[in-house]
Amino acid sequence: MARDLTDKNPIHRQKARAQRIDHAYHAKPHPWRRRLFRLSVGLPLAAVAVILVATRFPQGRRLHLPGPVSSRHAVFGDRCQECHAQEAGGWGRVLDEKCMACHDGPVHHVNMVHDGGNWTKGFDPAKGEPVDVQTPQCATCHAEHRDRPRLTEIAAAQCAQCHADLKVTGGEPRFATKIRSFTDGHPEFAAMRAGAPPDGARLKFNHKRHLEKATFPAGSPLAGSNVVCSHCHKLDQNRTYMQPITYEANCQVCHALEVPSASNIGPVAIAHGDPELVAGAVRRAFDRFLVQNGGKLPKRKVPNPNYVEPLPGMPAAEPEFLEQDDARSTEDWALENTAQTLAGFFHPKGTPRGACIKCHYVEDVKGGDAVKIVDPAVPHVWFKHATFNHETHRVLGCTECHTGVYQSQATADVNLPNIKSCQECHAPSGGAQTDCVTCHLYHNRKDANFAGMAKIEHIKHGFKEGAAPAEAPSTGPGKTPEPTAVAPAKTETPPATVKTEAPPDVKTPEQAKTEVKTEVSAEIKTEAKTEVKTLVSAEVKTEAKTEVQTEVKTEALPKAADTKPAIQKGRSVICPKCGLHATTGTRFCARCGAKLK
């Protein structure tokens, strides 16, 4: 009975279990405890070792990056010193001088106002002199380590810092002053605003007629096909803008320029170009006919005096024209036919409509001579302050954006898309990108310097302290490279080797001349003998040789001011003439050629 009570008592059961437990188990060795101890000690030591080893190798430094770098900077993305300045023993802010060591960033506008930032040099074309411009720091807009593969992708908020309340240093702003985004405050495109000037191209063209009725003629690759936009408007090599329309590439297949068949020699094709060249080509066509026919003139068509216009449905009793021998001379025949053909081309008063004035405007026609064609002046790029890429819009039909083309009958019509058509897609509801940099550029690329100054080893291995990139000569249009000074160590002395060629026993110039005259054959030209005599005479005289050597050395030695590099704190120096940033040690400005002192 007592035993049963004891077994049923929970306390008694716990005591029984406690007596069976070995309380010294933790002091006894066990395989699992040994493994855990090794892991607890070995893993921290291994981590510390990996970190120490990684800091000594470039690829290991990426472990310490706060985020990935852009794809363009991946070549040196693990070298923090290439962009960051050391401050208080660590990597601090990115200085503009670090960016300008590789990049050329022309200022946005010389009259811009930016709160904060830094002052830089810009060139004001209106004043013709350098001016101080307050610009944002490079890293303000181009921030690394933010999961952006391209640093040129700038948020619209960066542009709105200035354009949401635009101010300038002098005068009135040229652009809208309250633009917060593409869908908030952006004005209508300048070419599509009310009161904007029409298309000023001096041509006669009807889009509606070409798109609705025109077909390609027989014999052409697209014979019988209807004309569509892409037949004439083709992308350029960059697949961004359309190629300029030319007669040879777009018009000639349907509108051939040729001597009419009524001239008895045609039709003969004539090249398109300046009116004087067209007139010469027409005259050569008639001269060629005379040569091929041995000077024999074709029959001449003259009106038939007996011709009577027949009644409707009745045949004519007499032909309208009669053929008779041409009594004119070949010269008169060629001149008169050339004048008549050109008169038909350029449409003088009293003649049928000519081929040239179907599309062109002419200033005047006098006596059938060649006339001056008004310059067509067809605009190639309409949006001067924006960029556009047709390649990225290739999924759309042309008339989705150029909506008025099928109704356009005059050249003055501006068949461009308006802002509402763009906002159909480029809006938060449309899904397409709406950042300002989609269409606009910040840096003034017209003044950009494309003659880089860095070397491949600078990009791969970094710019060493005190070492400047290699100087690149300016090869822009209208510019000639500045002459570089020759170092004294590389200066070539006057031809000292000639000294050993002179006869060793020559004592006087007269004796040297006599010996040379004896050895030289009588057939040698007078110029050659004079040259040999002058050369030997100059070498024999010791004083003459000394004077020549001194003179050459003096010319080869550069002045101290020419070889002294420009000194500027940091890695860049600013051109005092145009404001271009160049690397320290550069002697001449790559943009304007000014000497950097």
DSSP string, 322-388: EEE---S-HHHHHHHHHHHHHHHHH--TTSPPPSGGGTB-BS---TT---PBPP----S-S-TT---
What are the tokens at 116? 């904060």
Residue-wise pLDDT tens digits, 159-197: 999 999 999 988 889 899 999 999 999 999 999 999 999
Between the CA of residue 179 and those of 166, 176, 426, 436, 570, what are the distances in Å? Answer: 8, 7, 16, 10, 37
Q: Is the dihedral of CA 520, 526, 532, 537 positive or negative?
A: positive
Q: Rounded to the nearest 5°, which phi and psi values hold at 389?
A: -125, 105
- Contact between 510 and 495 under an 8 Å Cβ cutoff? The reply is no
- Measured from the Cβ of residue 415, the count of other Cβ atoms closer than 10 Å reads 16
Write down the pLDDT at residue 399: 93
- CA 174/CA 381 separation, integer angstroms: 20
Write down the pLDDT at residue 258: 79
Write down the pLDDT at residue 48: 87
Q: Which amino acid is at 578?
A: C
Residues of the chain with pLDDT under 70: 1-12, 54-64, 261-264, 266, 347-354, 364-370, 449-450, 453, 464-572, 577-593, 597
**Region for residue 326 given its phi and psi (left: phi exceeds 0; alpha: psi -120 to 50; beta: otherwise):** beta
Q: Which amino acid is at 206?
A: N
Q: Rounded to the nearest 5°, which phi and psi values hold at 96?
A: -60, -30
Write down the pLDDT at residue 494: 43
Write down the pLDDT at residue 483: 40
Helices 542-556 & 526-540 angle (0-180, nearest 10): 90
End-to-end CA, the chain:
115
Write down the pLDDT at residue 245: 92
Closest listed residue to residue 470, CA positions, set 449, 452, 485: 452
Burial class from Cβ neighbours inside 10 Å (0-12, 13-18, 19+) for residue 542 reads: exposed
Write down the pLDDT at residue 581: 66
- Contact between 104 and 591 under an 8 Å Cβ cutoff? The reply is no
Q: What is the DSSP string of 438-498?
A: GT--SS-GGG---S----HHHHHH-PPTTPPPPP-----TT--PPPPPPPGGGPPPS-TTH
Burial class from Cβ neighbours inside 10 Å (0-12, 13-18, 19+) for residue 239 reads: exposed
> Residue 186 contacts by C-beta under 8 Å, 6 or more apart in sequence?
176, 179, 419
What is the DSSP secondary structure assignment for residue 149, as one 8-state letter? Answer: S
Q: Rounded to the nearest 5°, which phi and psi values hold at 582?
A: -130, 165
Q: What's this model's pTM, rounded to 2 decimal places?
A: 0.61
What are the tokens at 356? 């040239």
> Which residue(s) pair with 322 in the sheet?
302
H/E run at residue 91: strand 90-94
